[in-house]
A and B are shown apart, each in its own frame.
Chain A
Amino acid sequence: MMRTITVVGASLAGLSAARALRAQEFAGRIIVLGEETHEPYDRPPLSKEFLAGESPDISLLTTDDKLLDVDWRLGVSAVQLDPSDRSVVLSTGERVQSDGVVLATGARARTLPGRNVHTLRTLDDAIALRSAFASAGSVVVIGAGFIGAEVASTARKLGLDVTVVEALPVPMAGPLGAEMGRICGSLHAANGVRLITGVPVAEIADHLVRLADGIELRADVVVAGVGATPNVSWLAGSGLIIDGGVVTDAKCSTNIPQVVAVGDCASSFNDHAQTVLRQEHWTNALQQPRIAAATLMGRTSVHAARFAVPYFWSDQYGSRLQFAGHRQEGDQVEIVSGAADGPFTAVYRRESRPVAVLSRDEARVFGRWRRELTTVTEGVLS
């Protein structure tokens, strides 16, 4: 009998879990533990409007959420999960015992050694960086991935002199592949941002970034956008299988009964990719909890096939990149609409089957291909 469910994590995935449990008519007690003191907020605007000094409404809570009847416990740290009775142990020593546990602890920004190196993940990070930008003339961004590119784009918008440094030869080559990474990475130069690729950072000192080839870059602000680490170290000793994130099946079940994991901290089997993925995408944090809530309630989510196709977007330099699916090395990519110097859509194929789609400023074409990918996934599942 499920009387109490504890959700560990109070960002989008945790809030979505609480909403999904109520939507699926869980009438018991829901406790949500959050490490940050802030109420749930939306992270995507932090690197864009918020960083640009605007005042977007970043609260995720709606008036309907007041009816969720959730016991919010913000500003508390979970330090251990006791598998014998599913107790979550807090840093204060308190034990929060319940019949079901949703792990939604997310990820934290990877850091680089050096003084005064900013990262951008949390609201507090964004407040600090925004304040630093206000009195800065130049910035070096380490990492040309999505966060790095968005921070560079916003800094440029604010009139800063911007240099982006990427250790790999091509930006965003991991998710997009080299060819599309090069095309999308060309937005930096087109907008007056200097992009240096293929050179790792050797050392960061105050206002100085020294590259492995000896080049020294001076800047008022240094930002590292070098990925994120899932918050799972507190689960050591719990018996949970960890491989990057907490390992789950496609229904978000872990190897401990009545413990599910969702969002950035979960390495889940993905029906579309037919492999285990740890997704750091906003949409995944929104959708996966609905599957997990159904699992805890002993049901099967009807959304599984549609939710299985990974999706993310990135707004950079006034352009909107959208990507759906899962690319692997060896996939063939072809521009099917538009052209590389403007709006376009590219489709990735494996043995002639479409497996992923990338668009720049072509939402309608993108939407059609995204649906097509879902149909393919449903075909595989049925």
Chain B
Amino acid sequence: MILVCAVADLPDGEAHRLEHGDAPIAVFHVDGEYFAIDDTCTHQDASLAEGWLEGCTVECPLHASCFDLRTGKPTGPPAKVPVRTHEVVVRDGNIYVEVSA
């Protein structure tokens, strides 16, 4: 598991970008729940952590592709390929990510 940040450092509606090799991860806080997905949009190189969060959907800041944070599935064009999702664990006031294989 990788430490992302303290719970206090990720307010509701915000995102944290975690460097992880050449596949950075974006962690989102949605109304008390935390979600982690691959940070790079599958359509074109852009950081989803910089995107627009609306409920459980993040919209890519570049071309407005939407992804469901729970499933990683694209819910709006132009992206067609899902992003990977990762397990989030909250323990002792910290947020951790279990990176999917």
Inside 8 A of B11's CB, which chain A residues have their CB? none
Asked if A84 is at the interface of the complex by the 8 Å CB criterion, the answer is no
Inside 8 A of A371's CB, which chain B residues have their CB? 52
User: 1/0 per position for B66-90, CB-CB distance to A under 8 A?
Assistant: 0000000010111010000000000
Among candidates B52, B61, B64, B74, residue contacting A286 with C-beta atoms closer than 8 Å: B64
Q: How far is the CB of A14 from chain B (nearest CB, A)?
A: 13
C-alpha spacing A283/B76, complex, angstroms: 12
Asked if B62 is at the interface of the complex by the 8 Å CB criterion, the answer is yes
Inside 8 A of B62's CB, which chain A residues have their CB? 313, 320, 322, 363
Q: Do the beta carbons of B46 and A282 come within 8 Å of each other?
A: no
- How many residues of A are counted as interface, with CB atoms below 8 angstroms from the partner's CB atoms? 19
Q: How far is the CB of A38 from chain B (nearest CB, A)?
A: 16
Inside 8 A of B52's CB, which chain A residues have their CB? 367, 371
C-alpha spacing A371/B51, complex, angstroms: 10
Inside 8 A of A50's CB, which chain B residues have their CB? none
C-alpha spacing A322/B64, complex, angstroms: 13
Q: Do the beta carbons of B51 and A286 come within 8 Å of each other?
A: no
Q: Do the beta carbons of A60 and B61 come within 8 Å of each other?
A: no
Q: How far is the CB of B99 from chain A (nearest CB, A)?
A: 23
Asked if A42 is at the interface of the complex by the 8 Å CB criterion, the answer is yes
Asked if B63 is at the interface of the complex by the 8 Å CB criterion, the answer is yes
Given A363-B47, A364-B50, are A62 and B74 neighbors across the interface (CB < 8 Å)?
yes
Inside 8 A of B50's CB, which chain A residues have their CB? 363-364, 367
Asked if A323 is at the interface of the complex by the 8 Å CB criterion, the answer is no
Inside 8 A of B64's CB, which chain A residues have their CB? 283, 286-287
Q: Which residue of B lies closest to A60 (CB)?
A: B77
Q: Do the beta carbons of A363 and B77 come within 8 Å of each other?
A: no
Interface SS, B side? loop
The total of Cβ contacts below 8 Å across the A-B interface reads 34
Q: Which residue of B lies closest to A364 (CB)?
A: B50
Inside 8 A of A286's CB, which chain B residues have their CB? 64, 76-77
Q: Do the beta carbons of A62 and B61 come within 8 Å of each other?
A: no
User: 1/0 per position for A42-67, CB-CB distance to B under 8 A?
Assistant: 10100000000000010010110000
Given A62-B74, A367-B52, are A282 and B47 neighbors across the interface (CB < 8 Å)?
no
C-alpha spacing A364/B77, complex, angstroms: 21
Inside 8 A of B76's CB, which chain A residues have their CB? 286
Inside 8 A of A283's CB, which chain B residues have their CB? 64
Q: Which residue of B lies closest to A313 (CB)?
A: B62
Inside 8 A of A60's CB, which chain B residues have their CB? 77-78
Among candidates B51, B63, B77, B78, residue contacting A367 with C-beta atoms closer than 8 Å: B51
Asked if A344 is at the interface of the complex by the 8 Å CB criterion, the answer is no
Inside 8 A of A322's CB, which chain B residues have their CB? 62
Within 8 A of B (CB), among A52-97: 57, 60, 62-63
User: 1/0 per position for A272-292, CB-CB distance to B under 8 A?
Assistant: 000000000011001100000
Q: Which residue of B lies closest to A58 (CB)?
A: B78
Inside 8 A of A370's CB, which chain B residues have their CB? 61
C-alpha spacing A363/B41, complex, angstroms: 13
Q: How far is the CB of B29 from chain A (nearest CB, A)?
A: 16
Apart from the given pairs A44-B63, A367-B52, 9 other A-B contacts in the complex at a CB distance below 8 Å? A57-B80, A62-B80, A313-B62, A320-B62, A363-B50, A363-B61, A364-B47, A364-B61, A367-B51
Q: What residues of chain A have their CB less than 8 Å away from a CB belonging to chain B?
A: 42, 44, 57, 60, 62-63, 282-283, 286-287, 313, 320, 322, 363-364, 366-367, 370-371
5 contacts between A and B (CB under 8 A): A57-B80, A60-B78, A62-B80, A363-B47, A364-B61
Identify the 6 closest CB pairs spanning chains A and B, nearest first: A367-B61, A364-B50, A367-B50, A62-B80, A363-B50, A363-B61
